[in-house]
Amino acid sequence: MDENGTTAGAGPAGEPPRGAAAEEPGRAGVPGGAGAGGAAGPPEAGGGAGDASGAEPAVRIRLDIAYDGTDFSGWAAQPGRRTVQGELESALERVLRLPRVALTCAGRTDAGVHARGQVAQADIPAATWVAEGERVLRRLAGVLPKDVRVTGARKAPPGFDARFSPLFRRYEYHVSDAPHGVDPLLRRSVLWHRSPLDEGRMNEAAARLVGEHDFAAFCKKREGATTVRELLRLEWARVDTHLLRGTIQADAFCHNMVRALVGALLAVGDGRRDADWPGTVLGAAVRDSSVHVVGPQGLSLEEVRYPGDEELAARASATRRVRELPCRGHSA
């Protein structure tokens, strides 16, 4: 994934320099604002009045994005690699006739991870948006590769921050336990599990993980970033005879968190582990090598939910603050 957190050394609009690997943002508590991984504040409300230096007025645009992650080396731009960010920025520079467009996204997915509900922002000259905004979707459709689409493009409301304003991110993970393997037409978006799965046992184990915890046991920790997250929803449903869908929703995710949680629950579902094992691992709050991080192909970012326009700025400000686990602790 993937689920991806914060990275120090931000470029324009809080995005790391092209080539920097990153985790998913969220309540990661990176100190220092934009210069240390935080997104830069939006242009002034009303379209971005120029400053005293005479800089050209800017406007923040919101992009809604979908992609098949199979042939991408993740979201974040990397030298010599094909990435979602790289393709989108190049396409935007072309259709908007700008020398540089820098995108900041809601969740930096890893290689092979898909998205139907990704959100990103770009700050561009207001005059460019006035001239090109109505045509940008159709023009992007003509220049983007077929495995990435911009499904919406509009001027963002004041205070909008694609990375720090979300209330939650919702992912889905699809797994097949069919004895013959995955339907060939679904092989890019479904993981095959060789043993039969009991979704009831998986849900029993998942219920013990919901809430605010330190998910260090399920995350690849990064220096200066907290692994405390609030897991809002984690549940499994059998949507076809041999197809299961996991729904994972949280305020934010740290690196590998979703795929590690899924790996732990699959071990419960096929009987290799007891239902209380993932909770025991969680309680240790230390990365556990026995937790298998599953492959990316079953994972998709389905939704990023934002508060009402009047709450966007406050939400972004609160998200940037370092978050500590409450003194009361947590139960496994």
Backbone angles phi and psi of 223, in degrees to 5: -60, 130
110 is catalytic: yes
d(CA 38, CA 65): 22
Residue type, 206: A
Q: Which one of the listed residues 64, 110, 123, 214 is annotated catalytic?
A: 110
- What Å distances lie between residue 281 and 23, 159, 217, 254, 271, CA to CA? 22, 39, 6, 16, 17
CA angle 250, 316, 108 (to 5 degrees): 55
Residue 309 CB contacts under 8 Å (≥ 6 apart), including other chains: 157, 158, 159, 160
Burial 282-313 (b: 16+ CB within 10 A, else e): bbebebbeebebbebbbbbbbbbebeeeeebb
What's the distance, Cα to Cα, between the start and end of the chain in Å? 24
CA distance 206 to 100: 44
Active site residues: 110
